[in-house]
Amino acid sequence: MTDQFNNQNGYTPQSGQPYQQPNFQHSYQQPVVNPQQPHPAKPSTGRTFGTAFAGAALACVIAFGGFTVYQNVTETPSGSNVTLGASANTEIQAQSTDDTLPEAVAQKCLPSVAAIDVYTQQTSTDMLGRSTSSSGTLTESSLGSGVVLSEDGYIVTNNHVVAGADALKVTVGGEEYDADVVGTDESSDIAVVKLQGASGLTPIEIGDSDNLTIGEWVMSIGSPFGLEQSVATGIVSATSRSQIMSNAESSGSDGYGYGYGNSSSQSGGYTIYPNMIQTDAAINPGNSGGALVDSNGKLIGINTLITSYSGNYSGVGFAIPVNYAVNIAQQIIEGKTPTHAQLGVSLSTVNSQNAKRYGLKVDSGAYIAAVSAGSGAADAGLEEGDIITKFDGNAVDSASDLMLDVRSKNPGDTVMLEVNRNGETKQLQVTLGSDESSQAAPTTQNSSKNGSSSGSNELLNRLFNNGSSSQGNAA
């Protein structure tokens, strides 16, 4: 099934660069469990659209990349005193879920959900696929959704919606605005954009994602397939669904990047999705960055991923919890560098094969290949060669498990680790640090407690990582 793209917009931005729609056919593709696939075109309002929403496979990868923050200088400075969310809360009264509740929630929330159209410059490539020149023409290359956080136009969305954008057009409340990227947090897949000249918008009411009940009613709102202001209802299917996704898996360079505006601007790092909300409310291409709201019309999540064999909605979608998303958005708006909890170690996964080969005392867990000097791990007495088997009482079966556990916490939180050290079990209390100083650092942390890793540990770590010369996965 294909869509024909036509250029009917004719919009000319203030910079003088003409917007031009792509004129080609593109097959519907969608991120699936394995592999991911891109999103299709937006067939509404007489304009054509590229694909949006690059979803993620549910299989966790076992590496952890550097953290990247993008701060774009615009005429609108980041606000340090911006109030996010509606200033007053209202309760929705409905006779029954089947009758009036969806209507009431939609009426309340639709003015607070935006459609985001992403434009990128057309470039020429040589026979090897390398970029050689730019025509200066802006082509609409992808689309997504966003949620209004303030009356003056701060919008939260997914990083993968706006990554690589050269220009943004945002439609909210029936009005279209030019918009600027305020900042992005690639490792959390959260971004904030600011509408130019906006005022009097309707901020969404912000709920609490820490107190969700499996089975409770929810509504997803966004622009699936470019169909703006669309809603779908369902329930919270599960909570605390976590995964790690390689940015290389969804970059334009390997064919999965349509949700990134066909851009390969993503770094080689990883995006961490801790404690996501699973829902059967329909989430499709174009819903990325949109709202997941509860029965009172309060925002509880930012729609982000789906898993599907068909490439479209299959009843399993995921949203970033609002408490986590708004915390990151607030830091971006205040001009801060978003930070995350960090243990301060470099890790490899222990399994039955390498445990038997190297005589390890346990056959699952997270092997510490290096400890960063001055980190919470170092202060707590963790050592190279330790194998972390439990985190706050929960089993740790791999390096990925531990990284997700750490990301679910905040800097300054205290956690209890169970560690196997040469066959002896130890309980160590660790105060987690912040990754602020190492956001742009490589994936690995090369410094250890003593300033270097032993040769045996380096060899063990390389073999754990299938021959990679990397020091391991940082947490």
362 Cβ contact list (under 8 Å, min separation 6): 350, 355, 387, 389, 420
Nearest in space to 53 (alpha carbons), one of 271, 288, 220, 226: 288
Select which of 78, 112, 117, 160 is catalytic: 160
Select which of 288, 308, 372, 398 is catalytic: 288
Active site residue 187: no
Active site residue 189: yes
Select which of 117, 166, 180, 189 is catalytic: 189
Active site residue 178: no
Whole-angstrom distance, CA of residue 266 vs CA of residue 264: 5
- The full 3-state SS of the chain, as one line of letters, equals CEEECCCCCCCCCCCCCCEECCCCEEECCCCCCCCCCCCCCCCCCCCCCCCCCCCCCCCCCCCCCCCCEEECCCCCCCCCCCCCCCCCCCCCCCCCCCCCHHHHHHHHHHHHEEEEEEEEEEEEECCCCCEEEEEEEEEEEEEEEEEECCCCCEEEECHHHHCCCCEEEEEECCEEEEEEEEEEECCCCEEEEEECCCCCCCCCEECCHHHCCCCCEEEEEECHHHCCCEEEEEEEEEEEEEEEEEHHHHCHHHCCCHHHCCCCCCCCCEEEEEEEEEECCCCCCCCCCCEEECCCCEEEEEEEEECCCCCCCCCCEEEEEHHHHHHHHHHHHCCCCCCCEECCEEEEEECHHHHHHHCCCCCCEEEEEEECCCCHHHHHCCCCCCEEEEECCEECCCHHHHHHHHHCCCCCCEEEEEEEECCEEEEEEEECEECHHHCCCCCCCCCCCCCCCCHHHHHHHHHHCCCCCCCCEEC
| Positions marked active-site | 160, 189, 288
